[in-house]
Structure 1
Amino acid sequence: MDVNPDDLPDGLVIADAGGDVVCFNAAAARLTGREPGEALGSPLPAVLPLEDLDGRRWWQLTDPYQGLAISNGHPERNLLLPGGHEVLVSARYVRARARGPVQRVVVTLRGTEARRRTERSHAELIATVAHELRSPLTSVKGFTATLLAKWERFTDDQKRLMLQTVDADAGRVTRLIAELLDISRIDSGRLEVRRQRLDIARAVRRHVGAHLAAGEPDSRFTVDIAADLPDLWADPDKIDQVLGNLLENAVRHGEGTVTIEVQPASSPRDPGEKATAVTVSDEGPGIPEESMSRVFTRFWRGSRRGGTGLGLYIVKGIVEAHGGVITVERAPVGGARFRFTLPVGAPAFLA
């Protein structure tokens, strides 16, 4: 199937054996500010008057047509267009035979904004991780050093309290590392979903039971589970992670009654396929309208302090890895209303 160069997300410029431009796509026009009609038929150095960061003219330095016969191009690097506009440029030299003359020069262009956003995101992630690790590790170091140096001075109850604190802080570190691994897998598209037959109703009741055992009153929860749910094939551990995060947020940051509804639905991607929808809502202050679009992004914490702000980003990645969709809106009685819909899936591992 032929590909229209104008459909490509990156700029594409191709010059023929004589050095004249024969292809100049829409993305290249957008990045350079030059019209395709003006570029076609013009010499490559005139169409792309690139300079390196030291101000040297790039095509004179690389000389694709008269340079080394073993050269096949150059990898992506930062170069400058007139006006100091920075672009990422890579080039490939096409030869009919090894060491033969260059028949085409294929140049790809990318803007630097996406890379800069990624770099800022990585820097923020590193800063967040460093901050979140510092507190529990300082606590672990302090308590263990104190116990080792003054073991005989403490009563058994004091030792137990310090060791419980160390255990809790070690748990925080473990959870943070697990979050980072999840993010790495989500971002790289390597998050594995191990589908099994999942009793979603039982999973919901188990999570509610855990909160009741932790001291929440029975009146805090309302559970509404339909009787005619379709069989659901999903990854139990990952769906537990989703349910745990949504319920924890509703209990900790919401107010009033937390309502959990489980209902049959249509698949968000294929209306003809059965699905299961789970809704978690509370009666708290809710999420400001202007923040709704950022809830599932990295580091979103709203007005809350503490935590990494990575939980809902991971929840969204897990739901989407199952082929599902998650949304957030204002609950009818105030508060936040999260709803995720999972297609029933299939036991592919049994095929």
Structure 2
Amino acid sequence: MDIAPGVGELDLHPDHLPDGLVVANRLGLVCSFNAEAARLTGTAPAAALGRPVEAVLPLEDPDGRRWWRVTNPYRGLSTRSGQPERNLLLPGGREVLVAARYVRSRPAGPVRRLVVTLRGTDARQRSERSNAELIATVAHELRSPLTSVKGFTATLLDKWDRFTDEQKRLMMQTVDSDADRITRLITELLDVSRIDSGRLEIRRQPVRLDEAVRRHVKTLVNGGCPAERFDLRVTEPLPGLWADPDKIDQVLGNLLENAVRHGAGTVTIEMHRVPPSTTRPEGTAVTVSDQGPGIPEEAMHRVFTRFWRGGDGGGTGLGLYIVKGIVEAHGGTVTVGRSAGGGARFRFILPAGTPAFLA
């Protein structure tokens, strides 16, 4: 019988997870059913394993519609990566929060694994607290630039003739900068929403990852960062990459800007080919490391969660959460660790391009 990918490699046994975990194979048969899933559903693992997942989880929405008929991943849109968490009902009317992730053998390919998580309604309070924190963070981040924009525009409208052209230009530059800051925040919020709902759209095309890295480094240098601070190491040749260039730019921009802002010393960017194995296709690995204070060991597991802030605590704390969401939407992985110099080290691996592109 198939087993869930990576389950045997986890340090934490599935039965020790706080949420219910149900994994189905490519045929839709349950191959993993942990203790919390058994507690929430009232179904013993032995009675669930090997059975169709829709029979093991006969979930309905509050209107009485069968969840499986609406969200069947094996026959649905091939671009979907999962289903957002929502409130559903088990037989007898018991409420649970349910989310699903689709693991595909290749982008837009057939579903190889279906991973369903179940949480009791007590988890709703945690979700509500998270949403409240998001609203508070957004309000705080918007208040400063909007106050600045309102102040400068009101002053200019009221006392236009009292300012020189140079003073007006400086004020308008500040307004323009604050408008960019607001736009970036709105973009982050939209990305978070799409990642949470499993609807992050990936527009794939050939991408030269080494050229993208060089372009970002040049932008940082033009912005005043010393060129000698960057050490780019590319092991040729790199495999072709079939990805969304705008989304990859977000990942690179976030990691490099974090290294510059929160790190110290030399920022090293390493790129090399990752050979194929029995569990993953050929890919490209990108590592960004610095020589700063690094990330405390006790915080490593929280780096890619919402609202985690390193360094001086500035920003929304959503950047690395978005990085993880984008990389995983491409079928890749991202990890964090400590560099040889003691600073932070981020590494992401993206699968290579399609055979048609590589040809």
1:201-241 CA distances to partner (integer Å, 9 max, x unpaired)?
A: 10010011111111211210000011111111111000000
Specify the alignment match of 2:289 in structure 1: 281
Alignment of 1:245-260 (within 5 A): 245-260=254-269
TM-score scaled by length of structure 2: 0.69
Specify the alignment match of 1:306 in structure 2: 314
Distance in 2 (CA, whole Å) between partners of 1:250 and 1:130 is 26
Distance in 1 (CA, whole Å) between partners of 2:337 and 2:61 is 51
Change (3 A) 1:117 1:198: same
Does the Cα contact within 8 Å between 1:267 and 1:341 map onto a contact in 2?
Answer: no
Cα drift, residue 269 of structure 1: 8.5
Does the Cα contact within 8 Å between 2:195 and 2:325 map onto a contact in 1?
Answer: yes
Specify the alignment match of 1:108 in structure 2: 94
Cα drift, residue 346 of structure 1: 2.2
Structure 1 residue aligned with 2:338, among 305, 313, 330?
A: 330
Does the Cα contact within 8 Å between 1:251 and 1:258 map onto a contact in 2?
Answer: yes
Cα drift, residue 315 of structure 1: 0.4
Change (3 A) 1:154 1:289: same
Structure 2 residue aligned with 1:237, among 230, 237, 246?
A: 246
Specify the alignment match of 2:136 in structure 1: 127
Cα drift, residue 314 of structure 1: 0.2
Specify the alignment match of 1:345 in structure 2: 353
Distance in 1 (CA, whole Å) between partners of 2:197 and 2:350 is 22
Matched residues, number: 270
Cα drift, residue 130 of structure 1: 0.4
Cα drift, residue 268 of structure 1: 8.4
Equivalent position SS for 1:181: helix
Distance in 1 (CA, whole Å) between partners of 2:61 and 2:212 is 56
- Give the partner amino acid of 2:299: S
Specify the alignment match of 1:138 in structure 2: 147
1:155-189 CA distances to partner (integer Å, 9 max, x unpaired)?
A: 11110010000000000000000000000100000
- Give the partner amino acid of 2:354: A
Residue 319 (structure 1) aligned with residue 327 (structure 2): yes
Alignment of 1:168-247 (within 5 A): 168-247=177-256
Does the Cα contact within 8 Å between 1:233 and 1:347 map onto a contact in 2?
Answer: no
- Give the partner amino acid of 2:317: G
Change (3 A) 1:141 1:268: farther
Change (3 A) 1:266 1:186: farther
Equivalent position SS for 1:339: strand
- Give the partner amino acid of 1:344: A
Equivalent position SS for 1:284: coil
Unaligned runs of 5+ in 2: 1-18, 22-33, 45-59, 65-86, 97-119
Change (3 A) 1:26 1:324: closer
Distance in 2 (CA, whole Å) between partners of 1:28 and 1:154 is 68
1:109-162 CA distances to partner (integer Å, 9 max, x unpaired)?
A: 432232111111100000000000111001000100000000000011110010
Equivalent position SS for 1:329: strand
- Give the partner amino acid of 1:128: T
Change (3 A) 1:348 1:141: farther
Change (3 A) 1:27 1:284: closer
Change (3 A) 1:341 1:146: same
Does the Cα contact within 8 Å between 1:73 and 1:91 map onto a contact in 2?
Answer: no
Does the Cα contact within 8 Å between 1:267 and 1:343 map onto a contact in 2?
Answer: no
Cα drift, residue 107 of structure 1: 3.9
1:21-78 CA distances to partner (integer Å, 9 max, x unpaired)?
A: xxxx97587369x998xxxxxxxxxxxxxxxxxxxxxxxxxxxxxxxxxxx99769xx
Change (3 A) 1:74 1:223: closer
Equivalent position SS for 1:148: helix
TM-score scaled by length of structure 1: 0.70
Alignment of 1:40-59 (within 5 A): none
Does the Cα contact within 8 Å between 2:285 and 2:348 map onto a contact in 1?
Answer: yes
- Give the partner amino acid of 2:94: T
Distance in 2 (CA, whole Å) between partners of 1:348 and 1:113 is 48
Unaligned runs of 5+ in 1: 1-7, 11-24, 37-71, 77-87, 93-105
Cα drift, residue 345 of structure 1: 3.5
1:219-265 CA distances to partner (integer Å, 9 max, x unpaired)?
A: 10000011111111111000000000000000011000000011001
Does the Cα contact within 8 Å between 1:329 and 1:337 map onto a contact in 2?
Answer: yes
1:257-304 CA distances to partner (integer Å, 9 max, x unpaired)?
A: 000011001468933x21000000000000000000000000000342
Change (3 A) 1:235 1:259: same
Does the Cα contact within 8 Å between 2:95 and 2:121 map onto a contact in 1?
Answer: no
Does the Cα contact within 8 Å between 1:276 and 1:343 map onto a contact in 2?
Answer: yes
Does the Cα contact within 8 Å between 2:238 and 2:284 map onto a contact in 1?
Answer: yes
Cα drift, residue 305 of structure 1: 2.5
Distance in 1 (CA, whole Å) between partners of 2:240 and 2:61 is 55
